[in-house]
Amino acid sequence: MKTGHNGIVNDAQGRVKCVFCVVQIPKAFSCIEQHIHGSKHKETLEIMTDNGIFHNEDNTMYCKPCKTILNNDESASQHVDGDQHSNWIAAIEDLIGGEFINLDSYLCSAKYEEDIRCDLCETAFPFTLALLEKHVNSHDHRVHLAEKLKTLNGIFPVENGEEVWCKLCDVYIENKVQAILDHIDDDELHMKWFASMDDIIEDHDISLDEFLSEEHHTTAECGKCNMEIDCTTENLEDHIFSETHLNQFD
């Protein structure tokens, strides 16, 4: 596969064509330049990079995830919107959503075979749906996932080692991987806390990171005002609607 090509070719009839966007272009150099630097062409290049679509030396387009050559009259954007690619995306999202699996190197590489990486387990493996499913369901990955999510969800160890404590819900949870993941994903009070906070702090440059990751930390940080606020919904709402905070957006 050939990368870095601008996609402009002469078709069988001698007409100038962009095989990426599947459009005819007047032969004038200025028209070709206008297309290459135009928003449609740039958007198409981004779609190709994000979705593992490459330009072959024979001027065909190849979709690496779908393992298929695109029809001559099918643009990259049309292929991505089609059922075959959309189904692949849906299957991948079901498997890797929230799993800290990195597909960037796989999608960006023009090699037909390329490893994918699990940032949690710090390991890479050949990409197939079967191997990916096996990895995300493995015991080692679930352990690493639970440990990572503790620091993002206000969950901390306790002395007896048999339980963990959720700071947000003020409840104790059995110190087992599945129990921790079930609390994070399914507990109504836990999910409600995050939903309420997201609604309050959205677009206000307020960070909850230290509050969630440090057991005895009690404040959220407002980056706009460079100050800390007691991390309760009432205090955060008061701060967001305060004159001090609102003046930072003028």
Has residue 3 got a pLDDT over 70?
no
Give the other-Cβ count within 10 Å of 138's Cβ: 13
Q: What is the pLDDT of residue 5?
A: 56
Q: What is the pLDDT of residue 108?
A: 86
Quick: pLDDT tens for 204-236.
999 999 999 999 999 999 999 999 999 999 999
36, two tokens: 């290459």
Quick: pLDDT tens for 23-80.
999 988 899 999 999 999 999 999 999 999 999 888 889 999 999 999 988 999 999 9
The CB-based long-range contact list for 186-191 (8 Å cut-off, 24+ gap) reads 190/153, 190/166
Q: Across all residues in the chain, what is the average pLDDT?
A: 91
d(CA 44, CA 39): 9
**Mean pLDDT (whole number) for 9-18:** 83
Q: What percent of the chain has pLDDT over 90?
A: 75
d(CA 78, CA 82): 6
Question: Which range among 66-80, 100-114, 134-148, 171-185 shows the weakest confidence by mean pLDDT?
Answer: 100-114
d(CA 234, CA 237): 5
